[in-house]
Amino acid sequence: MTLYHVPHIALGAEMSDDYEERTTIVGYRTAFGIIGSLLVYGSVTLFFPETTDGVRGQMINANYPPFALACALVMWVTIWLSAIGTHKEIPHLPQAPPNLERFRFTSVFRETATALRNSNFRALFLAVLTSYVMNGVNVALSLFMFTFFWELTASDLQIVLIIYPLGILIGTPLTRYFHRRFDKKPAVVWGTAWWASLQLLPVVLRLIGVFPDNDAPSLIYILCGIALVQGIGVAQGVVSFGSMVADIVDEQELNTGRRQEGIFFAAVSFAGKATSGFGGLVAGVGLDVISWPQGPQILTAADVEPDTIVNLGLLFGPGVAVFGFIAVWLYTRYRLDRQGHAKILDELRDRRAAAVP
């Protein structure tokens, strides 16, 4: 997957150096990713049907292998479509310098160290590390929350899971207009803070007694509304981040004379893989801390102590949101804006023109 994913996300920085067009490229990439998520979430009732005796499909282990196989096949097809579809762009991309040194394994560490000396990239890299941990914890705990805290049925769960990426899909094209009005840094800060705030809001409202009960008909509508608005907001952060990393590539070329799209986006990809797994570990430790019960007999909220369910809500809401607010602080350390990037491009054009014999 890495052999495809790193060149795929780095390609956006090579296809255009325009400040706004990069946002459009990342927006398309994000939109198609969300469409894939919608296909997955839309198949919940297909792969995880409830049994005749009322056991939720997501609690049956045998349902997961067919689901995983279907996802793998769809990914395989779309990867090839993406590779074949962008192949024609190769002649128009920046070319490697003729004196490029031979690859050595040690050069990976040296170039990574060079990239991390860029203060703007360092801020984004640490922020995305934190964000991916947040996302990993969120994903690992979501099934517990929807099943035991909110007590959603499989059909209601499917609706909520679809609404959130639908919100991201709606918010993605709005990012370009947000950038024109406020620039990229405010967009990523606002989007991340928005996500974190709405992560804890419903849990806090439930715990203080001003949120509908689980058997209230309005519950699913309110959860869907929050998920939709949360998705629209987080799209600003997701798209802005990818566009900002592409801009730093130009800054890095000006400072060092080297383009490092591969290193920059490989670092981002590594952060996603490493910390998403770490997020799952954090979620597992958190479940141990709150003494979450284990065993095949744990099927509904009635099988769990009420205090433990409350602790689950605290872990999922405020506990996950903390990572989001840390990421917000790290994003504020980023310093490159529209005017700064335009100046960088002007200096790079002058340098390239001077190098032409």
- CB-based contact 159:224 (threshold 8 Å): yes
CA atoms within 13 A on the CB side of 145: 23
Give pLDDT, residue 223: 94
- CB-based contact 25:247 (threshold 8 Å): no
Angle (nearest 5°) at CA 290 between 316 and 137: 30
| CATH code, 2-89+118-355 | 1.20.1250
Position 61 confidence tier, pLDDT thresholds 50, 70, 90:
confident
Residue 138 pLDDT greater than 80, yes or no: yes
Question: What is the pTM (predicted TM-score) of this model?
Answer: 0.82
Give pLDDT, residue 94: 75
